[in-house]
């Protein structure tokens, strides 16, 4: 039995879990529905390149700051930070291009130089920012300190209210005459998700103040946050368990005593019950009180007021994000890793116009970011373009499973993608020519991976009502249940961390706040012995064989028990330096795990494989993922390039066992005969109907000179009665999906880590 259960592995949940583990030695079980820990701090990868899905920059992590002390303590000092360029933020409007420096004095003067008639108002603005932040901090502190101190903080806060209780628009309209200046000062509203007419000036002030001294980014990317925090949780006997869908918070005798979970690590979900003295929910107020707890009876009555408040605050923004892989370093365009906010007009509150424009391929405003420059990764250059969106525009596809939303959805995504890139090009000429691969995420994508309703990733809307409400904090009306994350404090990474601190303080009771403060003052002590959580296994390399110039077959002996394996699932392999990589399982039987790994990308996984020798040990987590054969009477066509063949090999074995492999077809693409895995693996079951596609050499008899898309284009098929399975390079998969959707294919199955 664990001491505490945390629902959700976002930054707030991991902060609470890490503090309870490191400060009080508590055994904490963190349950994450996704297969990747970290919530909106996790990354996803395509062919070696990676993108940070929710963390784009953080302020106030200079050495010695409160946030830096938290990060250092929870990571044992292992999390490193890169400072962004001095002009870390650029705001682009028609006729106005303004760069924000990493110095508040220079920032003020730059604004005054541009708007000299507004000098007094600008100086007062920065004073009011500080006052509103102090007002907000006094509110957050009430969730952390012992209860006898709360009335004193509340009194002090009331004396500071002032402009904090206004909307951002009300404040700006009352203080500034210039429409340009009002728009410029509101430019960062995307960092908290509400336009000026709806957002609290207090929330606006928090964000502006947060970046007055510049911005930082985790060295190596944001995934290192979860992985370094996790080590401290495991060292105390706890664990971060992925593929765990919490279905119910269990209440007995009026007290929360645990959770029910669907364990989705194996081929079939298994219901489990976990008990603990305390439960912390990091999945937000709406999900916690509307989905995981009864809304009727005694529990419903106890939570009615909180649910009613949350219902009125569910109007936060969602977004679409275009992830770009670049052919060359974006510094060739004169960039240094700064963020660029691009707007076609001055009206931030015209959300209807933004939504219509976005869907039509003509967005009004976007945010452009370059994660590879910020993380210091020189191997793979990447960019992200974000456009805020109304999730209702995508609601008609909500009930359709991810990857099976049809041609109309695909065409909409392509139109949106073209519009985002077109607007970015206006401020960053040459960016389009650098793009080698793109992929769009919509509000449905965010909802699928994070469970945030409607993809509203900032949680409850940052309105004046929210910032003033005494109901929002780490406490709940149910004994044994606490809240962490942004809904317990405020939006943003550090805001969600503060919610995690507050939850940990409340779980520990009156001694919590002083214990945690004392621990932070001691500094980032090294994390204790490297304990292995039950979800991970030790693995010893037994055999390593080069199959092609760039692909290796690795066979590991896995120690301990694992969940049953379904053909198509993947394994997570520890490749050193807190880095894990996902690889499709080419075979797993009797504790022997076989992986096919390409070393062409030159990333962490590639370097690990090249250095690995028989007898070396590492850690694995498996099996994971939902990619599998779908029971069907249809004909099956498999399309693979390179190591994309790996998940199909156990599928072929299963089909062969049932006498169904003969009717399947495989289109396999590679450069030439040296790269042809189907020749190297000819002893394994392969479909008799096999077409080899060589892109850089003449194909063998019956093959195709060209890419697999050429062979697929020539494939005759019944759109309703053919199942297509795609796996390989991201560009190939996207090209094949587009081709099949346009030809009316209804059953397309894609592996996506």
Query: What is the model's pLDDT at position 406?
Result: 82
Distance CA 519, CA 686 (A): 59
Phi-psi region at 710: left, alpha or beta (left = phi > 0; alpha = psi -120 to 50): alpha
Tell me the average pLDDT across 516-538. Answer: 83
Query: What is the model's pLDDT at position 530?
Result: 67
In the predicted model, what is the mean pLDDT of the chain?
93
Sign of CA dihedral 712, 714, 719, 723: negative
| Side-chain half-sphere exposure of 395, counting CA atoms within 13 A | 6
Give the pLDDT band (50/70/90) at residue 536: very high
Q: Which of 19, 23, 17 is nearest to 2 (CA)?
A: 17
Tell me the helix, strand and coil percentages in the chain, rounded to 5. 40, 25, 35
Alpha-carbon distances of 251 from 28, 52, 126, 405, rounded to whole Å: 19, 37, 48, 38
pLDDT tens-digit readout, 260-285: 999 999 878 999 999 999 999 999 99
Cis peptide bond N-terminal to 662, omega within 30: no
Tell me the average pLDDT across 68-95. Answer: 96
Distance CA 564, CA 723 (A): 25
Give the contacts of 117 (CB within 8 A, at least 6 positions apart). Answer: 177, 178
Angle, vertex CA 209, rays to CA 205 and CA 213, nearest 5:
160
Query: What is the model's pLDDT at position 562?
Result: 87
pLDDT value at 127 more than 70: yes
Write out the two tokens for 150.
């709360």
Q: Can you name the residues that pair with 342 across neighbouring β-strands?
A: 92, 366
Tell me the average pLDDT across 565-571. Answer: 95
pLDDT tens-digit readout, 290-335: 999 999 999 999 999 999 998 888 767 899 999 999 999 999 999 9
Query: What is the model's pLDDT at position 173?
Result: 98
Alpha-carbon distances of 350 from 198, 321, 409, 442, rounded to whole Å: 12, 20, 25, 20
pLDDT tens-digit readout, 154-205: 889 888 888 999 999 999 999 999 999 999 999 999 999 999 999 999 999 9
Q: Say if CB 195 and CB 349 are below 8 A apart.
A: yes
Query: What is the model's pLDDT at position 159?
Result: 85
Sign of CA dihedral 512, 517, 519, 525: positive
Q: Say if CB 259 and CB 5 are below 8 A apart.
A: yes
pTM for this prediction: 0.95
User: What SS3 state is found at 389?
Assistant: strand
Query: What is the model's pLDDT at position 388?
Result: 92
Q: Say if CB 241 and CB 274 are below 8 A apart.
A: no
Phi, then psi, of 738 in degrees rounded to 5: -60, -45
Give the contacts of 448 (CB within 8 A, at least 6 positions apart). Answer: 402
pLDDT tens-digit readout, 387-428: 999 989 998 998 887 777 888 998 999 999 999 999 999 999
Write out the two tokens for 697.
């050499």
Alpha-carbon distances of 24 from 8, 18, 35, 278, 683, rounded to whole Å: 20, 10, 28, 14, 55
Alpha-carbon distances of 707 from 488, 667, 695, rounded to whole Å: 52, 10, 5
Distance CA 571, CA 605 (A): 13
């Amino acid at each position: 039995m664990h001491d505490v259960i945390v629902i959700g592995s976002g930054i707030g949940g991991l902060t609470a879990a890490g503090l309870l583990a490191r400060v009080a030695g508590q055994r904490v079980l963190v349950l994450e529905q996704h297969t990747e820990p970290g919530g909106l701090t996790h990354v996803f990868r395509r062919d070696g390149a990676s993108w940070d899905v929710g963390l784009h920059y953080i302020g106030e992590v200079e050495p010695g700051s409160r946030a830096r002390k938290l990060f250092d303590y929870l990571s044992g000092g292992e999390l490193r930070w890169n400072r962004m360029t001095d002009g870390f933020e650029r705001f682009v409007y028609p006729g106005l291009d303004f760069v924000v420096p990493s110095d508040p004095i220079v920032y003020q003067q730059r604004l005054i130089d541009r708007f000299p008639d507004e000098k007094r108002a600008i100086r007062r603005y920065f004073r009011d920012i500080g006052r509103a932040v102090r007002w907000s901090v006094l509110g957050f502190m009430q969730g952390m300190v012992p209860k006898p101190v709360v009335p004193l903080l509340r009194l002090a806060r009331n004396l500071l209210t002032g402009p904090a209780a206004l909307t951002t628009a009300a404040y700006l309209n009352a203080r500034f005459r210039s429409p340009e200046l009002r728009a410029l000062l509101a430019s960062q509203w995307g960092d908290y998700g509400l336009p000026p007419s709806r957002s609290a000036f207090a929330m606006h002030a928090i964000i502006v103040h947060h970046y007055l001294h510049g911005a930082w980014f985790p060295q190596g990317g944001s995934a290192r946050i979860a992985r370094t925090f996790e080590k401290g949780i495991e060292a105390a006997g706890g664990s971060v368990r992925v593929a765990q869908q919490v279905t119910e918070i269990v209440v007995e005798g009026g007290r929360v005593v645990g959770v029910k979970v669907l364990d989705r690590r194996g081929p079939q979900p298994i219901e489990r019950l976990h008990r603990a003295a305390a439960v912390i929910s990091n999945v937000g107020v709406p999900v916690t009180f509307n989905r995981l707890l009864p809304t009727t009876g005694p529990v419903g009555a106890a939570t009615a007021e909180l649910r009613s408040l949350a219902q009125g605050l569910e109007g936060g923004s969602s977004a679409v994000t275009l992830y770009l892989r670049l052919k060359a370093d974006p510094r060739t365009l004169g960039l240094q890793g700064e963020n660029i906010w691009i707007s076609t007009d001055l009206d931030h509150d015209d959300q209807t116009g933004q939504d219509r424009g976005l869907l039509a391929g003509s967005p009004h405003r976007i945010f452009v970011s370059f994660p590879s420059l910020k993380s210091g990764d020189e191997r793979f250059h990447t960019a992200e373009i974000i456009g805020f969106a109304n999730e209702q525009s995508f609601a008609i596809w909500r009930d359709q499973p991810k990857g099976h939303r049809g041609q109309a959805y695909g065409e909409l995504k392509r139109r949106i993608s073209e519009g985002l890139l077109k607007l970015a090009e206006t401020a960053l000429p040459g960016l389009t020519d650098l793009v080698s691969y793109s992929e769009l995420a919509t509000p449905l994508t965010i909802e699928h991976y994070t469970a945030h309703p409607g993809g509203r990733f900032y949680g409850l809307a940052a309105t004046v009502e929210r910032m003033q409400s005494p109901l929002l904090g780490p406490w709940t009306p149910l004994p044994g249940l606490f809240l962490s994350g942004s809904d317990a404090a405020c939006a943003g990474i550090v805001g969600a961390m503060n919610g995690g601190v507050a939850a940990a303080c409340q779980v520990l009771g009156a001694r919590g706040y002083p214990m945690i403060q004392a621990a932070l003052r001691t500094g980032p002590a090294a994390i204790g012995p490297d304990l292995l959580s039950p979800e991970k296994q030790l693995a010893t390399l037994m055999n390593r064989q080069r199959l092609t110039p760039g692909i290796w077959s690795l066979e590991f002996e896995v120690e301990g028990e694992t969940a049953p394996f379904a053909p198509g699932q993947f394994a997570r392999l520890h490749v050193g330096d807190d880095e894990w990589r996902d690889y499709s399982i080419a075979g797993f039987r009797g504790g022997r795990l076989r992986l096919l790994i390409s070393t062409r990308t030159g990333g962490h996984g590639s370097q690990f494989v090249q250095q690995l020798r028989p007898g070396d040990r590492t850690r694995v987590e498996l099996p994971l993922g939902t990619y599998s054969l779908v029971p069907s009477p249809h004909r099956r066509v498999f399309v693979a390039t390179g190591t994309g063949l790996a998940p199909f090999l156990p599928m072929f074995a299963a089909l062969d066992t049932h006498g169904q492999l003969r009717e399947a077809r495989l289109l396999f693409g590679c450069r030439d005969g040296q790269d042809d895995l189907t020749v190297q693996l000819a002893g394994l079951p392969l479909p008799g109907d096999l077409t080899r596609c060589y892109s850089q050499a003449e194909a063998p008899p019956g093959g195709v000179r060209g890419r697999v898309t050429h062979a697929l284009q020539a494939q005759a098929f019944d759109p309703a009665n053919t199942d297509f399975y795609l796996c390989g390079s991201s560009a190939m998969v996207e090209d094949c999906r587009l081709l099949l959707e346009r030809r009316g294919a209804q059953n397309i199955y894609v592996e996506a880590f």
